[in-house]
Amino acid sequence: MAAFAPSTGISMPVTQLNLHRAELEYERLQRCKPSYIGNIELDAGNNNIWNVLLLPPRPPYNEGAFRLRITFPSDYPFKPPHFRLMTAIYHPNIDERGMMCLPLLQYDNWKPAMTVENAIQSLIFLLDDPEPERPIRLDLAEQLLKDNKAFMEAAQRETKEHAEKRPSS
């Protein structure tokens, strides 16, 4: 199956078109990197995997940097990318393996017009404002609802212990 790539004016197989879309997004993010992204690197030998250093802007995560691994399916952008946080984080919507509950990345919610930048921004919003009503880690959601101060202190302590050091500005 072939598709027409409007920016180039040529037809190419869908898989190549999909890789081209991810490539364009990568180049755009490299040129216009938001402040909450420290860096983006392609996985060695596999351009379908990105390693992103996230710099959350607000407490309790703003004193650390977090590695995000983004894997693109062969039918991207028609299917969402897969996100996994590689750095441990104390958060009710992200489990111990880095899997997250992010509605934008669910198949039913994802639209081809969405970008990886939209999804990363959605993750940053989730870090800034956890959603205890949709938890993966019930104990942390309960703590957040019952004792916000204790949650924030624990999250800040865990960030200092497990997160990467932020790059110098």
Q: Which residues are catalytic?
A: 101
In this structure, are residues 35 and 57 in contact, taking their beta carbons and an 8 Å threshold?
A: yes
Question: What CA–CA distances, in Å, run from 146 to 35, 42, 43, 149, 152?
Answer: 32, 41, 41, 9, 12
**Kind and range of the H or E run holding 19:** helix 14-31
Residue 18: both structure tokens together:
């999909």
Pairwise CA distance, residues 145 & 132, whole Å: 7
Residue 150: both structure tokens together:
């204790």
The one-letter amino acid at 42: L
